[in-house]
């Protein structure tokens, strides 16, 4: 599995994928698409990710290489 910035952030926090899937209330398929960079999260999911990963939404934007 590719080591993307968003996946690295999760691993550095010691979070399991199952924990994140449950906290974000998304499917496993959606989660893997996000972590592999094949999909971009909605604004709501971005906010939840930022809260869960204890970072800013701007940092999540950078992890997904989204231009502001």
The tens digit of pLDDT for each residue in 17-45 reads 999 999 999 999 999 999 998 999 999 99
Q: Give me the DSSP letters along 22-53.
A: HHHT--HHHHHHHHHTSS---HHHHHHHHHHT
DSSP 64: T
| pLDDT for 4 | 94
Question: Residues 57, 50: contact at Cβ < 8 Å?
Answer: yes
Percentage above 90 pLDDT, the chain: 88
37 Rama sector, left if φ>0, alpha if ψ -120 to 50, beta otherwise? left
Q: What is the model's pLDDT at position 68?
A: 59
According to CATH, the topology of domain 5-63 is 434 Repressor (Amino-terminal Domain) (1.10.260)
For 10-16, what is the mean pLDDT? 97
Sign of CA dihedral 31, 35, 39, 45: positive
What does the pLDDT read at residue 60? Answer: 94
């Amino acid at each position: 599995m590719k080591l993307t910035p968003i996946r690295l952030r999760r691993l550095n926090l010691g979070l399991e994928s199952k924990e994140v899937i449950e906290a974000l209330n998304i499917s496993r398929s959606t989660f893997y698409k996000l972590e592999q960079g094949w999909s971009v999260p909605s604004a709501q999911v971005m906010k939840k990710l930022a809260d869960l990963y204890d970072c800013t939404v701007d940092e999540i934007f950078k992890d997904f290489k989204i231009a502001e």
